[in-house]
């Protein structure tokens, strides 16, 4: 599914997001919400597909579930961070696990952690969209600091 709006756009191109989620309902709902907001969204239902799409599309951001078939989210994260082609892609973990795992996931290369329960996806997508906007804004700020330092 490809987004067509303007809000997720950068100066020349739309922000590309790879969504990795095995739950068909959550994947479709999240994908639609992101696309409606203007992000260019591709999605994967398992860990193997996630690695293939990440390498092929080189997204600007990856939203990664931890409990996936074929290859776990943690294995996907570690593989992404070891691969020179994908190691600089920011990965945000979306999981049902508690926040106590966040520090370990950051050590493994994640730039952020979103608890699915706190996003209240069953009540709409606004909290998710706000979280994604905030993460992208923080990443842009960090990139600006790195290029001027």
Residue pLDDT, tens place only, 116-149: 877 777 677 888 898 899 888 888 776 655 555 5
User: Contact 56/18 with Cβ under 8 angstroms?
Assistant: no
Dist. CA 52–CA 55, nearest whole Å = 5
Residue with tokens 């293939």: 52
Of 42, 45, 40, the closest CA to residue 54 belongs to 42
pLDDT score at 79:
97
User: Contact 92/111 with Cβ under 8 angstroms?
Assistant: yes
The β-bridge relationship of strands 40-44 and 16-20 is: parallel
pTM of the model: 0.84
Q: Crossing angle for the helix pair 126-148 and 24-37, nearest 10 degrees?
A: 60
pLDDT score at 10:
43
Q: Is the pLDDT of residue 21 over 90?
A: yes
Q: Encode pLDDT of 45-101 as tens digits.
A: 999 999 999 999 999 999 999 999 999 999 999 999 999 999 999 999 988 766 667
């Amino acid at each position: 599914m490809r987004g067509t709006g303007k809000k997720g756009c950068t100066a020349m191109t739309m922000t590309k997001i790879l969504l990795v989620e095995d739950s068909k309902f959550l994947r479709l709902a999240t994908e639609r919400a992101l696309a409606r907001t203007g992000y260019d969204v591709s999605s994967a239902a398992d860990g193997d597909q996630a690695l293939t799409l990440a390498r092929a599309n080189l997204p600007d951001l990856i939203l990664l579930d931890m409990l996936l078939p074929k290859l776990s989210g943690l294995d996907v994260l570690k593989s992404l961070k070891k691969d020179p082609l994908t190691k600089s892609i920011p990965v945000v973990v979306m999981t049902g696990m508690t926040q106590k795992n966040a520090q370990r996931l950051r050590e493994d290369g994640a730039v952020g952690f979103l608890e699915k329960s706190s996003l209240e996806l069953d009540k709409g997508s606004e909290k998710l969209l706000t979280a994604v906007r905030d993460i992208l804004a923080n990443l842009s700020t960090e990139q600006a600091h790195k290029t001027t330092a």
